[in-house]
Amino acid sequence: MRISNYKKLFLIGIAFLAFYIFLVFRLWGYEQYVQDAPIKNLSDAFWYSIVTLTTVGYGDIVPASEEGRIIGYIFLFLSIGIYGILIGQFSTVISNINENNKIGMHGTSFQNHIVVIGWTQFGKTVIDQLIRAGRKVAVVTKNRDNIDLLHELYDKKQVFILYSDYENFELLDKANIEHCSSVFINLENDTDKLVYILNIKKHFENLQFVVTLENANLKQTFINAGVKYAISKNEITSRLLASYMFEPDVAQYSEEILAYPIEETDYDIKQFRILKGNPFIKQEYDKSFYELKKMYNVILIGLVREENGQKTVHKNPQDNFIIQEGDFLMMIMNRAAESKIRKVFSIKEGI
């Protein structure tokens, strides 16, 4: 509600209060000259007015004069109007609260979540995968027509929806963007994405951006602009398509393993961090490889280690490579094995 509307309501309230007090004093003024009138003082006049306006109507006090009864009629009609206004205002307030909640104006407490700027069918496939992986998502859309659809598609415990102009960076705080793990810029074209990233970085310096590119030649440009991961959709599609042409079984397996598993027997590549107390700390890589396969039917395929502030991927390192606390182990596993690994590693997958 705008400030001008509050001011208008305040002035109406003051005017009604003044009119009400005027009527009460006039009622007392008329009744005090009537012998044996039930309204004997100002307190009785206020009591009668309140009982009448609230439609309680005890009937213990009534006006005795003709003028007093006319004022009583005014109180009766006022009570009808007041209740109508109150019911209308209450309905409006409830409606506004529901609408603001629907479009995300109350904000979210999500943390370490993914913020998606822009809603498209491609964005939906990405969000579906994130939800299956147990990640929470905040979707920002400037199209009001998308709101109802998004609420139908997703549970509010998993997906927060914010209706906002993308350039309204202050409103992005509603999506708790400063506490997200990454921001997926899902706008229409590469130019819009690049300009938007340069603008949003002026307001949020420490965000980690992910974009998909139509033009693979712009990848380095986006990296230089501060994007963490710039992925060319055409490049990925062309590689997979070529693979289907000369090694279709490998291509099919690759496609399946990139998607989040649904069935217990579905396989996926997952990444688990080595925390303090993990049984594989200070153990040789090859020995861990055999133990994971034998005990949990998990295939260790690589290790990620942070070195000089940068993450380095060691793809199936040589013998005598020692696993350290803070490393990430990359493994191929199905859902049945994942539940066992979570217990051993005492952590969920991901970074």
CATH code, domain carrying 316: 3.30.70.1450
Average pLDDT in the chain: 87
Decide if 70 is inside a domain.
Answer: yes
Q: Are residues 229 and 119 in the same domain?
A: yes
Q: Are residues 280 and 233 in the same domain?
A: no
Quote the number of domains for the chain: 3
Decide if 75 is inside a domain.
Answer: yes
Q: Are residues 68 and 26 in the same domain?
A: yes
Alpha helix (H) residue ranges in the chain: 3-31, 42-53, 66-102, 121-132, 145-153, 190-200, 219-224, 233-246, 248-258, 285-296, 335-345
Candidate ranges 33-37, 256-260, 273-277; pick with highest mean pLDDT: 273-277
Q: 33 phi and psi, to 5 degrees?
A: -95, 0
pTM for this structure?
A: 0.68
Choose one of 200, 220, 237: the last residue of a domain.
237
Q: Are residues 305 and 200 in the same domain?
A: no
Decide if 257 is inside a domain.
Answer: no
pLDDT at 325: 92
3-state secondary structure of 61: coil
Render pLDDT for 156-209 as a digit per residue (tens, 0 to 9): 999 999 999 999 999 999 999 999 999 999 998 999 999 999 999 999 988 999
Check which CATH number belongs to the domain holding 84 and give it. Answer: 1.10.287.70
Report which DSSP code applies to 277: T
Longest distance between any two alpha carbons in the chain, whole Å: 112
Candidate ranges 204-218, 228-242, 259-273; pick with highest mean pLDDT: 204-218
Answer positive or negative: Cα dihedral of 310, 313, 317, 321.
Answer: positive
Residue 222 predicted with pLDDT over 60: yes
Type of residue numbered 225: A
The boundaries of the domain holding residue 233 are: 114-237
Q: Residue 346 and residue 285: Cα distance in Å, rounded?
A: 20
Q: 212: which strand partners?
A: 231
pLDDT at 4: 58
Q: Residue 86 and residue 17: Cα distance in Å, rounded?
A: 15
Q: Are residues 128 and 54 in the same domain?
A: no
118 phi-psi bin (left φ>0, alpha ψ -120 to 50, beta other):
left
Residue 12 predicted with pLDDT over 80: no
Q: Dump the DSSP string for 120-146.
A: -HHHHHHHHHHHHTT--EEEEES-THH
pLDDT at 243: 86
Residue appearing with tokens 């004069």: 65
Decide if 249 is inside a domain.
Answer: no
Q: Is the Cβ–Cβ distance between 101 and 73 less than 8 Å? A: no
Q: Residue 165 and residue 188: Cα distance in Å, rounded?
A: 15
Render pLDDT for 326-350 as a digit per residue (tens, 0 to 9): 999 999 998 889 889 999 998 887 7
Residue 1 predicted with pLDDT over 70: no
Decide if 245 is inside a domain.
Answer: no
Residue 6 predicted with pLDDT over 70: no
Report which DSSP code applies to 179: G
Average pLDDT of the residues in 30-55:
84
Q: Is the Cβ–Cβ distance between 116 and 123 less than 8 Å? A: yes
Choose one of 237, 254, 285: the last residue of a domain.
237
Choose one of 69, 102, 135: the last residue of a domain.
102
Check which CATH number belongs to the domain holding 219 and give it. Answer: 3.40.50.720
Q: Are residues 10 and 95 in the same domain?
A: yes
pLDDT at 5: 59
Residue appearing with tokens 């400037």: 142
Average pLDDT of the residues in 261-286:
89
Number of other residues whose CB lies within 10 A of the CB of residue 235: 12
Q: Are residues 28 and 118 in the same domain?
A: no
Decide if 131 is inside a domain.
Answer: yes
Average pLDDT of the residues in 24-40:
85
How is the chain split among helix, strand and coil, in percent rounded to 5? Answer: 50, 15, 35
